[in-house]
Amino acid sequence: MSKLRVHTFSISLDGYGAGPNQSVDNPLGVGGLSLHDWFTKTRTFHQMQGEDQAGTTGTTGTTGTTGIDDEFAARGLENIGAWILGRNMFGPVRGDWPDDTWKGWWGDDPPYHTDVFVLTHYARQPIEMEGGTTFYFVTDGIHAALERATSAARGKDVRLGGGVSTIRQYLQAGLVDELHIAISPVLLGTGEHLLGGIDTPTLGYECSRYVGSPNAAHFVLTKR
């Protein structure tokens, strides 16, 4: 049975998953990119960028690091058959789509290589990209997006990519089966808070794993 999983979702010490004033120049808000320093150093990230040589434990050369951070990064790619993204995660365009020019942050070959279902209030035709990625735009809510993604995954799991608002909606609905949070040693002060106001124990979530690295503290929440 397919599960809905969140992986490598980075937040600050004060709980923010994105900084303030998100824009084309600051897609994760001011200071938001620093949340992901632990991830961008890993061998998995470097392989995603086309650097596929084996890394060396504890090193940060062109091939990236191995170790705890890389293990969590790599696990997020295992058995994933489809993705769900929020509209803001797909791009900075707000409101109705003015044209078809915006096709995501990732160029012609996005890193998903599966069907990706983008939550939006505004309809748009699917976009077929290189590498097996096709973006579909879902206008009838989170349950419809999950149903379509689960069907597309064909028995594999569905990964929920974010952003913060989208993950909060799925958490509050009790639909997330597993959530990996990486807490980075960064203070943002303001922005989008991930868990504020969400009663995770009442919703059935518990911390099933914790492990730290020099770059982040990793927590896994699972639904009972």
Q: Domains along the chain?
A: 4-95+104-223 (3.40.430.10)
pTM (2 decimals)?
0.91
The overall longest dimension of the chain from CA atoms, in Å, is 47
First to last CA, the chain: 15
* Residue 62: per-residue pLDDT: 55
* Residue 196: per-residue pLDDT: 95
CB count within 10 Å of CB 104 equals 18
Residues of the chain predicted below pLDDT 50: 53-61
Amino acid at 192: E
Compute the distance between CA of residue 187 and CA of residue 103 in angstroms, rounded to an integer: 32
**CB within 8 A of 40, min separation 6: which ones?**
none
* Residue 61: per-residue pLDDT: 46
